[in-house]
Structure 1
Amino acid sequence: MSTRADLTTPVTEVSDASLRAFVGYKMKRAFNVLQADLTRTLDPFGLRMLTYSALALIVENPGLRPSQLATALSVERANVAVYLDQLEQAGWVRRASAPQDRRAYAVFATVAGRHLYDRAQAAVQAHDRRMLEGLDAAEIEVIHAALARIEGQG
């Protein structure tokens, strides 16, 4: 239902006031800002948000299986295979037979992958600080706690 009185007048300014009443809409708009800055941050490393996230989990959990990586990233296993292919082709991870199940394989970061992760991690930490500029520690804690509760973790 339109709230404009004259439906023949062209729209010159779009109002999203009704959508801004929804937390999800505000979260998506904030995420778009965060993602755009993170994309710029990771581009010099040859990483994207998901390949960086996959590399971080692999570095921090050596020997994890692709199914575990998919669960941790909340993505389909087929998508994880694509990320792993990209990381492996770049020389940042390697796949090896899982010691407990030779039918499965485990993923490990290479030395180059660990070095890349260290540099990218520092850049992502700077990105995070930049995105939170102007907020005090209490506000940041509220954001973390609220997001955890929404996610069902808190």
Structure 2
Amino acid sequence: MAMPSTPAPASDPLDTGVLDDLIGYALRRAQIQVFQHLVERLNAYDLRPAQFSALAIIAQNPGPTQAELAKSLAIEPPQVVPMVNKLEERGLALRVRCKPDKRSYGLFLSKAGEALLKELKEVAARSDQEATANLSTEEREQLRALLRKVYQG
């Protein structure tokens, strides 16, 4: 069978057919759009969304272990090590030896990490708002509630 010699114009998106009926496909497309928007905003701070998330979780729950942080971020524990190393190298987070178990370290934000996180929370909120600007406030709240229902079981 011969292949057409002229590709479809870039402005005409391909028909995704059955994919449009799948929640997973719609979630992934929306996640890519919202995530990319945040990536672009965090680039100015030389941070990735996972690093921002780690800072936010540590601030909300001072002293988690790296394993607890990994579980909260839904990533494998070995992936947390280089992330925390980078945050520590930048002076944003600290590892502090736990008293009960001298082999464990708790994670804490430094003063610089706290200050930066305060700014990043505003950046992330604006990014979230901009990336979902085509939704009303009520639709945004409804979507957030439905998504929580999906991932919290």
Normalized against structure 1, the TM-score is what?
0.88
Could you tell me which residue of structure 1 aligns to residue 49 of structure 2? 49
Query: Deviations along 1:40-69, whole A, 9 cap, x unmatched?
Result: 111111210101101111122111111110
Range with bigger deviation, 9-18 or 139-148? 9-18
Q: Which runs of 5+ in 1 are unaligned?
A: 1-5
Cα root mean square deviation, aligned? 1.7
1:16 aligns with 2:47: no
Question: For 1:19-34, what aligned pairs fall within 5 Å after superposition?
Answer: 19-34=19-34
Could you tell me which residue of structure 1 aligns to residue 142 of structure 2? 142
Residues paired across the two proteins, number: 148
Cα distance, 1:7 vs. partner? 6.3
1:64 aligns with 2:64: yes
Give the Cα separation in 1 of the matches to 2:129 and 2:43. 18
Could you tell me which residue of structure 2 aligns to residue 91 of structure 1? 91
Equivalent residue letter for 2:4: T
Normalized against structure 2, the TM-score is what?
0.88
Give the Cα separation in 2 of the matches to 1:7 and 1:54. 52
Task: Name segments (4+ residues, structure 1) moved above 4 Å.
Answer: none
Could you tell me which residue of structure 2 aligns to residue 77 of structure 1? 77
Equivalent residue letter for 1:46: D
For the residue of structure 2 that corresponds to 1:18, the secondary structure is: helix
For the residue of structure 1 that corresponds to 2:105, the secondary structure is: strand
Cα distance, 1:8 vs. partner? 4.0
For the residue of structure 2 that corresponds to 1:47, the secondary structure is: coil
Equivalent residue letter for 1:131: A
For the residue of structure 1 that corresponds to 2:106, the secondary structure is: strand
Cα distance, 1:110 vs. partner? 0.5
Give the Cα separation in 1 of the matches to 2:148 and 2:63. 27
Q: Which runs of 5+ in 2 are unaligned?
A: none
Could you tell me which residue of structure 2 aligns to residue 3 of structure 1? none
Identity %: 26
Could you tell me which residue of structure 1 aligns to residue 102 of structure 2? 102
